[in-house]
Amino acid sequence: MLPRSPWFTILFLLLVSSCCCFLPYASAEEGTCSAADDECNAAAHQRTTQQEQQEQQQEKQETYTHKFPMKFVNKSQYRADVHWDDGKYGVHMAILEPNGGESSLETYQGHSFFITRHGVKEGLFDLETDEQHRVTVKRPNETYEIPENAAPSTNPCQDRFSICKSEAARGTCSWSPGWMIVHCCKSCDEELNASELIDPNVRCTKERLNMTEPAWQPGDLNKLFESWAAKDSDFAQYDPQVLSSPGAEFGGIDGPWVVTFDNFFSEDEANALIQGGAKVGFERSTDQGKMNSLGEREKVVSTTRTSSNAWCIGACERIPQVSRVSHRIEEVTKVPKKNYESFQILEYDYNQFYRSHHDSSGSEKGLSGHRILTFFLYLTDVEEGGETKFNKLGIQVKPKRGRALVWPSVKNEDPSTWDPRTFHEAMPVIKGKKYAANHWIHLNDYEGPNKWGCTGSFS
């Protein structure tokens, strides 16, 4: 054996020492630290933590910038609506059928959703905690289940929206009390005693709302229509045409009153009504369903009515031409504006229709009473189709811009009793597009009960 120099020995020891020093790092990378190797384990833990943080940050960035799927399953007995919480009043996203109905949608991490009964904004709650069912999205492909025992809270005085407190702070409880009592009860309780008025049996009485005398007494219906039909009528400028009258005494067939004013409003006024509807936003027309314990009527999408409509409220009804037409109707009917529902503006596209129906009902028990008159305005000409057909009278009225069609829904001898002869329908549009608007006029004050949430409508 050759003799080794001292330098060789020193180099050999340094090399071994260097290898040993790097072993923990190598082991940490490979995850092979021994239980007693604290230095190795510490390095491995540090690396794992850094990896997790990087992965979480990467996942966070991806899910904030990309949509991903989420599923909702409804195991409750209630038909339910899913709303995205936009920080205001919520945006409707999906309908869930009861007892297992489900729906999937695309969403983002951090978005929140709340659950209500279908057609109203009455929340579904966990009755043990009295917390409304809500979910905030955390990761892709989550499934949120509405449990079997989900139900409206036993405490009806709730704030349904995150915007309730700020709305109350800016005075909305005072100028829209009915809507706020039902939707933002907690925030309006101090100002309005909303926790008591949430009960419609307390909120909606004739005495409390100081309801006045009805617009018509027996005999007033005939007097009004006769004044329109008279040869020396003050309303001749509107070109009245009688299509039906009792005994055919004033023209037309023998039947309930049906009258048109063929020159009632201008093209400019017609365009303003259409623009007002567009400003509010047209939505698929709905019917009224059942009323809940708070006085809300469910909105039901109907297969017998396929048009779109918009309620002319707020900025729409402040348009000068729109308010001018309403005032003209008030002058002609001699029924005060407080008895009117807001203009309903209608949009019928190709093949859209409204099957046979009546504008009132045989069992009207609301504070506002029956709809006694329909004042219907044709805002456009229609090339083909779109007529208003009175099913039991054999009368059809063709849409013509500027024409108003008027008929009663009650009887002359008793305005609190409906007249079943005035069933009617909107025939399908075959060619062109139909825009129309109508005021429904009630026997009693409508604005007061509507303001206090006593008409079932919370649009």
Indicate the DSSP class of residue 367.
T
Is 170 domain-assigned? no
Q: What distance in Å separates the CA atoms of residue 218 and residue 152, rounded to the nearest whole number?
A: 44
- The residue that leads in pLDDT, 43 or 269, is 269
- Kindly state whether residues 438 and 350 are assigned to the same domain: yes
Which tens digits make up the pLDDT trace of 355-394?
A: 999 999 877 788 999 999 999 999 999 999 999 999 999 9
- Kindly state whether residues 60 and 94 are assigned to the same domain: no
Average pLDDT, the chain: 89
Q: What distance in Å separates the CA atoms of residue 86 and residue 148, rounded to the nearest whole number?
A: 27
Cβ-based neighbours of 298, under 8 Å, separated by 6 or more: 117, 118, 119, 120, 288, 289, 290, 291, 292
* Residue 361 pLDDT: 81
Predicted TM-score (pTM) of this structure: 0.80
Is 36 domain-assigned? yes
Which pLDDT band holds residue 314 (cuts at 50, 70, 90)? very high
* Residue 245 pLDDT: 98
- The residue that leads in pLDDT, 6 or 359, is 359
pLDDT at 170 over 50: yes
Cβ-based neighbours of 369, under 8 Å, separated by 6 or more: 214, 416, 442, 443, 444
Which tens digits make up the pLDDT trace of 71-130?
A: 999 999 999 999 999 999 999 999 999 999 999 999 999 999 999 999 889 999 999 999
Which domain CATH number covers 253? Answer: 2.60.120.620
* Residue 286 pLDDT: 77
Q: What's the whole-number mean pLDDT along residues 323-351?
A: 98
For residue 293, give the H/E element and its range. Answer: none
**Percent of the residues in the chain that have a pLDDT greater than 70, as a whole number:** 85
Is 137 domain-assigned? yes
Which pLDDT band holds residue 25 (cuts at 50, 70, 90)? very low
Q: Choose among 357, 358, 323: nearest CA to 343.
A: 323
Which pLDDT band holds residue 45 (cuts at 50, 70, 90)? low
Q: Which of 146, 162, 193 corresponds to the end of one domain?
A: 146
Burial of 403 (0-12, 13-18, 19+ CB in 10 A): buried
* Residue 23 pLDDT: 38
- Kindly state whether residues 49 and 134 are assigned to the same domain: no
Q: Choose among 150, 128, 155: nearest CA to 72.
A: 150
Q: What's the whole-number mean pLDDT along residues 336-345?
A: 98
CB-CB contact of 95 with 115 (8 Å): no
Which pLDDT band holds residue 301 (cuts at 50, 70, 90)? confident
CB-CB contact of 343 with 372 (8 Å): no
Q: What distance in Å separates the CA atoms of residue 322 and residue 247, rounded to the nearest whole number?
A: 36
Is 233 domain-assigned? yes
Q: Which two tokens stand for residue 17?
A: 């020492």
CB-CB contact of 339 with 350 (8 Å): no
pLDDT at 40 over 80: no
Which domain CATH number covers 140? Answer: 2.60.40.780
Which tens digits make up the pLDDT trace of 248-271?
A: 999 999 999 999 999 999 999 999
Which tens digits make up the pLDDT trace of 186-228?
A: 999 999 999 999 999 999 999 999 998 999 999 999 999 999 9
Is 89 domain-assigned? yes
In sequence order, what DSSP letters do the residues of 409-447 get, joined into one string? SB-SS-TTSB-GGG-EEEPPEEES-EEEEEEEEESS--H
* Residue 256 pLDDT: 99
- Kindly state whether residues 44 and 95 are assigned to the same domain: no
- Kindly state whether residues 440 and 307 are assigned to the same domain: yes
User: How many domains are contained in the chain?
Assistant: 3
- Kindly state whether residues 274 and 321 are assigned to the same domain: yes
- Kindly state whether residues 356 and 389 are assigned to the same domain: yes
Helix axes 320-333, 267-280, angle to 10 degrees: 110
Q: Domain range for residue 58?
A: 20-65
Q: What distance in Å separates the CA atoms of residue 50 and residue 29, rounded to the nearest whole number?
A: 13
Which pLDDT band holds residue 277 (cuts at 50, 70, 90)? very high
Is 243 domain-assigned? yes
- Kindly state whether residues 288 and 359 are assigned to the same domain: yes
Q: Which of 85, 111, 146 corresponds to the end of one domain?
A: 146
Residue 409: Cβ within 10 Å count = 26
Q: Which of 146, 178, 202 corresponds to the end of one domain?
A: 146
Is 180 domain-assigned? no
Q: Choose among 107, 123, 93, 247: nearest CA to 186.
A: 123
- Kindly state whether residues 355 and 401 are assigned to the same domain: yes
* Residue 6 pLDDT: 52
- Kindly state whether residues 44 and 137 are assigned to the same domain: no
Is 162 domain-assigned? no
CB-CB contact of 154 with 127 (8 Å): yes
- Kindly state whether residues 431 and 332 are assigned to the same domain: yes
Q: Choose among 134, 152, 142: nearest CA to 106.
A: 142
- Kindly state whether residues 352 and 275 are assigned to the same domain: yes
